Amino acid sequence: MSHVYLPGATIGVMGGGQLGRMLAFAARRTGYRVHIFSPEKDGPAAQVSNRSIVADYADEEAVKRFAADVDVITFEFENIPVQTIEWCAHDHDVRPAGAILHIAQNRLREKNFLAHAGIPLAPFRAVRSASGLKSALGEIGRPAILKTAAFGYDGKGQQAINEDANLEEVWSASSGNELVLEGAVAFEKEVSVLVARGTDGAIKTFPLCENIHRDHILDITVVPARVESSVERAAAELARSIAEKLELVGLLAVEMFLKANGDLLVNELAPRPHNSGHWTIEACATSQFEQQVRAVCGLPLGATNVLRPAAMANLLGDVWQSGEPDWSAALAVGGVGLHLYGKREPRLRRKMGHLTAFGADADEAIARVTAARSALQSGST
């Protein structure tokens, strides 16, 4: 049986953003110490950790020094260099394993893994040249989306290719030597499932999240998702299957497209807590962050039932455009909670925090969180 790390142990977290911050809150509440490794000084996670190491991920000496002072290592984002992961794993348990992070760091590796595992996906092809793009489009057809294989999120590194697109211009504007062409999916909803798998192989899925995007960035997540129960069961089964095939120990977010006929296509994986799971802090028996702590430390996984319908709305730097937001006005809306991430500079499209609201059902929760966010700018100066 894999080693169990009981409260009092030290969890090392690679990455210092808001996911690490909320993970640190959950870990410290349950009696763990938390050390953060990040190139960023005074980042969101460092502000609430027991110790913060500021160094580059390529600094072998700093990485090994960090690892020597912790008991188990996990991650709050997946784009950590492979070499860094190997340094961490030399003498310590790394959960999830570096091999899983390696898959999730690259869209092509990820899609090939899923395809070989029999997971339903949109059609895709690897693209490495202008001629390769033309050939791939001949097989997949238009409309399609050209994406960078690595380091793409929130719509970055993506180009839509419609019927009238000029392929020379598309290729000239592309970034990266390795790209992925995906067939555009006519979907009804975007949904996601958070799944956790423990060291003993036990698996728990969180209820299906319904995600509403704006300008390629997650805007609102609502639970329960407004879908048929058969869709929720199918999504959970897909997430469980992927977790098992990866031999996951930790937490995994599985993003999916729901088509009008009820079919689900897996879009992306994230082997860490996810923006679409922030509602779990207040509205679930176990938050996604506590579940990650439990999974990577070898403790029994927590219950995942929804306590009440909830909606989460992201707060981007755009909210600060007219001055300091009117926090009092937002919090005057009944059933609303505020989370700010400790980021000092509000930039456009930068995730600065989120609001969570509750309601008698999903629609009421959305109405409340939307009203609260609108109130933030109603009286700002």
Q: Characterise 372 by phi-psi region: left (phi > 0), alpha (psi -120 to 50), beta (else).
A: alpha
Q: What is the pLDDT of residue 297?
A: 98
Residue 268 and residue 218 in contact, taking contact as beta carbons nearer than 8 Å? no
How is 32-80 classified by DSSP, letter by letter? Answer: -EEEEEESSTT-TTGGGSSEEEE--TT-HHHHHHHHHT-SEEEESSS--
Q: What is the pLDDT of residue 32?
A: 98
SS3 27: helix
Q: Determine phi and psi for 262, rounding to 5 degrees.
A: 95, -5
Distance from CA of residue 350 to its chain's centroid?
15
Q: What is the pLDDT of residue 174?
A: 83
Question: Could you tell me which residues are beta bridge partners of residue 10?
Answer: 33
Q: What is the pLDDT of residue 381?
A: 42
Q: What is the mean pLDDT of each run of 10 residues along the chain (381 residues)?
A: 90 98 98 97 96 97 97 95 94 95 95 98 95 94 92 72 89 83 96 98 98 95 98 98 98 98 97 98 97 98 97 97 95 95 95 97 97 84 42
pTM score, two decimals?
Answer: 0.95
Structure tokens at 262: 């009820």
Residue 219 and residue 311 in contact, taking contact as beta carbons nearer than 8 Å? no
Q: Which helix (H) or strand (E) holds 368?
A: helix 362-376
Q: What is the pLDDT of residue 41?
A: 93
How would you class 224 by CB atoms within 10 Å of its CB: exposed for 0-12, middle for 13-18, buried for 19 or more?
Answer: middle
Residue 117 and residue 245 in contact, taking contact as beta carbons nearer than 8 Å? yes
Q: Which domains does the chain possess?
A: 10-94 (3.40.50.20), 123-183 (3.30.1490.20), 187-376 (3.30.470.20)
**Which residues lie below 8 Å from residue 68, measured CB to CB, with a gap of 6+?**
91
Interhelix angle 82-89/60-68, nearest 10 degrees: 40
Torsion sign across C-alpha atoms 351, 356, 357, 361 = positive
Could you give the CA distance from residue 55 to residue 302 in angstroms, rounded to a whole number?
Answer: 34
CB crowding 56-81: b at 16 or more within 10 Å, else e: ebebeebbeebbeebbbbbbbbbebe
The β-bridge relationship of strands 158-161 and 124-127 is: unpaired
- Counted residue by residue, the chain has a size of 381
Q: In what order do the strands lie in the sheet with 51-54?
A: 51-54, 33-38, 10-14, 72-75, 93-94
